[in-house]
Structure 1
Amino acid sequence: MDSVNADNFENIVYIRNMGHTVVEAINRQLAHYAYHVGQITYLGKMIKGEQWQSLSIPKGGSKDYNATKFAQLKRRSHFTDEYLKREE
């Protein structure tokens, strides 16, 4: 990743002999990671059953969650900021 810059975004890299631009290759890898996270989450839910705690908004909780979020002022921040502050 250290060598990636605006000058080489369109360069072709090969993954299993399939040509991708650098940006396409990065997107492919990110999607691959997300796929595996989904698999791990699915297994966790199967193993924990009723003891499973949602990793995001609990089922049926979107309305309350959104009300809380939209009650806040617009701002520039990262979506993990609120979770990282809890650990400090």
Structure 2
Amino acid sequence: MLTQRSPLDEGSDGKKPQLDLGEAEWMSGSNGVGDVQIAFVEGYIAMRDGRSPDGPALIFTPAEWRAFVLGARDGEFDLT
């Protein structure tokens, strides 16, 4: 059973719940190897490196995911 905890914790106790990612349906934007993959699990969004599926996953709340996606669309993470 693979569980992941985000470094961006939240909740009443300041922590996100442990999520079981073992049965998650991972999706990617294309069929290529090495894609970033995401899964929707228990109201959270998990993101992992498709080249290393047994490695760690980042866990986002819906608000964190929205901020990440909007930042990416705005070029916030573009390399110069």
**Based on CA coordinates, which of the two structures has the bigger radius of gyration?**
1
Pair in the same fold by TM > 0.5? no
TM-score where L is the length of structure 1: 0.27
Q: Which has the higher contact order (CA 8 A, sep 6+)?
A: 2
Q: Which structure carries more helix by proportion?
A: 1
